């Protein structure tokens, strides 16, 4: 069955992002951005987040597929809602993404997310799988409000931290062996196991 993956983002306003924004930076990714090149959002977020996002991106590339002919994976962003993982972004656009916090009460985050989720729900008939935390309302509440029972998550994410999740996703992508998913609607998001789930 086709699945479209929704990836929780890396933090575009954190310490690692300052390395990219530094005009004196000498590493390749920063030089490309400062030279005016637009770089895939997924590649940038891999740099910002490391193993966890690398695992999400690799896993979605192997198992993601759109019945509507669109992208098989989308990233949650702070100001532009859901964006295809391989969307090219410029340094200026990245700075925009880093200027707003992901907070369910922040309209600059919430409104574009809901709008883009509705557009995706209208045209996409594949299952939608969240590769991110279910222990926080910042992703779950707005996405569940739009997708309802169409939204799933990897059952093996519960009780794992970021590094463990990233390693699991990379291993399954290499093996070509998909995880089992659980419908998000009705899942209890409190309690010891839920609290251990990552915030991103």
Name the token pair of 12: 């575009």
Mean pLDDT of all residues in 89-116: 95
pLDDT given for residue 98 in this prediction: 93
φ, ψ of residue 114 in degrees (nearest 5): -65, -40
Give the pLDDT of residue 135.
84
Query: According to the model, what pLDDT value does residue 1 have?
Result: 67
Provide the pLDDT for residue 134.
87
pLDDT digits (tens, 9 = 90+) for 152-192: 999 999 989 999 999 999 999 999 999 999 999 867 544 44
Q: In whole numbers, what is the pLDDT of the chain averaged over residues?
A: 91
Helical H segments across 22-128, by residue range: 28-34, 41-49, 51-63, 91-97, 107-123
pLDDT, residue 136, reads 80
Task: Enter the tokens of residue 7.
Answer: 């990836």
The domain spans of the chain are 3-10+50-85+104-196
Percentage of the chain with pLDDT > 90? 82
Least confident range from 30-34, 103-107, 127-131, 143-147: namely 103-107
Distance between CA atoms of residues 17 and 189, nearest Å: 30
Exposure string (b/e) for 125-147, b if CB count within 10 Å is 16 or more? ebbbbbbbbbbbebbbebbbebb
| Of the listed ranges 1-5, 69-73, 121-125, the one predicted with least confidence | 1-5
Question: Which CATH architecture is the domain 3-10+50-85+104-196 placed in?
Answer: 3-Layer(aba) Sandwich (3.40)
pLDDT, tens digit, for every residue of 27-49?
999 999 999 999 999 999 999 99
The confidence score (pLDDT) of residue 120 equals: 97
Using the predicted structure, report yes or no on whether residue 199 has a pLDDT greater than 70. Answer: no
CA distance 97 to 37: 17
Whether the per-residue pLDDT at 198 is higher than 60: the answer is no
- Output the pLDDT for position 133: 87
Q: Which residues pair with 29 in a beta bridge?
A: none
* CB of 104 closer than 8 Å to CB of 112: no
Burial classification of residue 151, based on how many CB atoms lie within 10 Å of its CB (0-12 exposed, 13-18 middle, 19 or more buried)? buried
Q: How far apart are CA 32 and CA 89, in angstroms?
A: 11
**Listed residue (41, 145, 123) closest to 184, CA to CA:** 145
Mean pLDDT for 62-88 is 96
């Amino acid at each position: 069955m086709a699945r479209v993956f929704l990836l929780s983002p890396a933090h575009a306003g954190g310490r690692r992002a300052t390395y990219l924004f530094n005009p004196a930076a000498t590493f390749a990714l920063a030089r490309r951005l400062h030279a005016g090149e637009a770089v895939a959002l997924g590649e940038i977020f891999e740099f910002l987040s490391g193993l966890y996002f690398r695992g999400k991106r690799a896993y979605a590339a192997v198992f993601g597929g759109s019945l509507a002919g669109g992208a098989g994976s989308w990233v949650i962003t702070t100001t532009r809602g859901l964006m295809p993982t391989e969307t090219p972004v410029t340094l200026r656009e990245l700075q925009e993404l880093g200027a707003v916090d992901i907070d369910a009460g922040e309209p600059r985050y919430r409104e574009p997310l809901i709008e883009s989720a509705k557009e995706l729900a209208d045209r996409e008939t594949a299952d939608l799988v969240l590769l991110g935390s279910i222990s926080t309302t910042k992703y779950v509440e707005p996405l569940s409000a739009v997708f309802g029972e169409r939204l799933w998550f990897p059952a093996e994410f519960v009780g794992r931290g970021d590094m463990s999740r990233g390693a699991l996703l990379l291993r399954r992508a290499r093996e070509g062996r998909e995880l089992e998913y659980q419908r998000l609607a009705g899942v209890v998001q409190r309690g010891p196991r839920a609290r251990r789930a990552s915030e991103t």
